Structure 1
């Protein structure tokens, strides 16, 4: 990374951290008095979009989207590739309102966690997978009834660029039980915002939104089959955009 890009990255982190502290503090006092949809726009959408704007303006990371026509009118379960923090910002600002499946510990983070707690996330205990699956099913169904998109990173954690993790079935189970499709999303954000380290590299992220996928039947087999289809599409698309190494084997790292 060049000296100039290093300075840009440092400036980016200073601005991002400062805006997070200020915005989350303001939201902590304002958001409780707003209905859920307005609260989401005030707390999440505006700040996440500003984070994406800072990423583009300060460190030169832009993005292109393909497949906008595939987004259904009715909210459903989003199954997205997870490589960096960028896609969390982008997806949270793009779909609204959105309820994200996240680890419970994040709610204890000062400012950020306090604000997130007011946005009806699906906060799970990753140390207890069985209980987490039940919680995802019950709370997720409630969020869907409230008109929220459900964001699931089925790999369970961020996976380094060029690799892919096996998909858990929690997201597809939620979709099948709610009689909704899953919306698969692939991207190559990890090439410019790596999982490890603080470096940021200028370039254009490719975001590809696939067609909604429906289960053909019901029950455990339908969940497994839909999950396999979603994984196959993401794996194939990751290869097409150059974000998956040749011969890469799916890693068994999913939390659920």
Structure 2
């Protein structure tokens, strides 16, 4: 373990936490007087860019993006691999404005939750899966109609590097019902920012944006087929960037919303 890197990681968390508290507190007093687009950029884009840059400067974790030309002009449903916290920061500022699924209880956290509530998140009760699916469908459709990107982590939770979780169909159902495509994203952020622990490893994250995928038809069968197609693309791309290990890397972690 490098002592210098350990010090850098400690400093990183101090600056990240301090900046989040400061920025959320400031946003609480400034953002209510802004339009949603300006508010989103003020709260989320600016701070998430700071977080990504801080990760690069202090931790030596950089990134490269492939497939930027695949991003459609109209916001749609993003289906992203989930391995770490890094992709949450990155995607929140790369696609703007963006709405993502989060636990409803987070909105009650002083300042942080209040600031998040002003960004039109899809807040769900994870203790009630059936109600959560209904909220995802209802709020997600509303966000898409408002030209807001909807970010779904179809694995439901962060899956350790080298593995991939089964995809829930909530994201593809949302896209099919809105007659919009899904945009699959693969990456290997977990190699450098692991799911567990505080240690970070310098390196370059590979982010690959796939082609926008439309359903072939409507109804449950079309939803299932599109979901399988998106999963297959992500799995194949994860292998290509060296982010899947072994012959059977599918995680047994149960899918959550």
**What TM-score do the two structures reach when normalised by structure 1?**
0.98
Q: CA deviation at 1:33?
A: 1.0
Answering whether residue 42 of structure 2 is matched by residue 20 of structure 1, we say no
Query: Unpaired segments of 5 or more residues in structure 1?
Result: none
For 2:142, the equivalent position in structure 1 comes to 142
Aligned to 2:256: 255
Superposition deviation, residue 197 in structure 1: 0.5
**Displacement of 1:249:** 2.5
Unaligned runs of 5+ in 2: none
- Listed one character per residue, the Cα deviations across residues 147-190 of structure 1 (whole Å, up to 9, x for unaligned) are 10000001111111111111000000000000000000000000
Residue 201 of structure 1: SS of its match in structure 2? coil
Aligned CA RMSD, in angstroms, stands at 0.9
Matches within 5 A, 1:216-227: 216-227=216-227
Equivalent positions of 1:74-223 (< 5 A) are 74-223=74-223
| In structure 2, distance between residues paired with 1:238 and 1:8 | 29
Deviations 1:110-155 (A, max 9, x none): 3321210111000111111111111111111111111100000011
**1-structure distance, mates of 2:83, 2:101:** 16
User: What is residue 244 of structure 2 aligned with on the other side?
Assistant: 244
Task: Give TM-score scaled by structure 2 length.
Answer: 0.98
Shift of 1:107: 1.7
How far did 1:252 drift? 4.4
Q: How does 1:52-71 map to 2 (within 5 A)?
A: 52-71=52-71
